[in-house]
Amino acid sequence: MSLLSEAQIEKVLQPYLSPISPELTLQLSAYLGLLTKWNARTNLTAVRDPEEMVRRHFGESLFTGRHLGDPLPDTLLDLGSGAGFPGIPIALLHPSIAVTLAESQNKKATFLREVVRTLGLKNIEVWGGRAEDLPADRTFHTVTLRAVDHMAAALDAAVSRAAQQILLLATGASEILGGLSLQEKIPLPESHGSFLLRFGVASVPRGTL
């Protein structure tokens, strides 16, 4: 399977982030190489085509990074990070944000550490466990997550860790709002029915979802 050139990566990402700095493109290219190599022997993502990886994973993550609010968060938790989305692209786009990637599956957490090591990312911490098992006093300005099977439980975990907002990448997700306050619903570029949802959580009691 051939990888994409840096010029091809930039072209695919134009609907999500433009312009893109040469440094960011180089980092994303290295990340794509690692993801493709590891995915060939361990199931990190069901998406196998490099262009689709760039579009679905990198593009949607960078789009999320453009909508973190102003001023930018100082801390961010990517809950159930998987292969690092959206947390790693956000960390690459905004080096000033201290990003924690929470991933309970060992093989995926190992991959995340390899990405952090290879790219020399100083603003990323990998938590190889469930977000619920983080120290009780650890909260984050923003929590990000993508739609998962047990969405209510994931959102409850996110609420317990988010000080200001939750950003959720989801498809047709209006039915999962629960006790959260939906502040913004942004259609994702080049998608059909997928959205970036922003929830305010400052006044939401824990355990209400």
Which residues pair with residue 182 across a beta bridge? 199
What pLDDT score does 181 carry? 82
How many Cα atoms occupy the beta-carbon half-sphere of 174 within 13 Å? Answer: 5
- Listed residue (151, 142, 169, 165) closest to 64, CA to CA: 169
Question: In which element (H, E) is residue 101 found?
Answer: strand 98-102
DSSP-assigned letters across all residues of 115-182: HHHHHT-TTEEEE-S-GGGS-TT--EEEEEEE--SSHHHHHHHHHHHEEEEEEEEEES-GGG-TTSEE
Q: What domains lie within the chain, and their CATH numbers?
A: 6-200 (3.40.50.150)
- Listed residue (205, 199, 192, 207) closest to 177, CA to CA: 199
Tell me phi and psi for residue 130, to 5 degrees.
Answer: -75, 145
Tens digit of pLDDT at every position of the chain (209 positions): 458 999 999 999 999 999 999 999 999 999 999 999 999 998 899 888 999 999 999 999 999 999 999 999 999 999 999 999 999 999 999 999 999 999 999 999 999 999 999 999 999 999 999 999 999 999 999 999 997 778 888 888 999 999 999 999 987 655 455 567 889 999 999 988 899 999 988 644 444 44
What pLDDT score does 52 carry? 93
Q: Evaluate whether 110 touches 118 at the Cβ level (below 8 Å).
A: no
Give the contacts of 177 (CB within 8 A, at least 6 positions apart). 199
What pLDDT score does 180 carry? 79
What pLDDT score does 12 carry? 97
Which residues pair with residue 66 across a beta bridge? none
CA distance 164 to 92: 22
CA distances from 183 to 56, 73, 117 (A): 24, 17, 36
What pLDDT score does 90 carry? 98
User: Taking the complete model, does pTM exceed 0.85, yes or no?
Assistant: yes
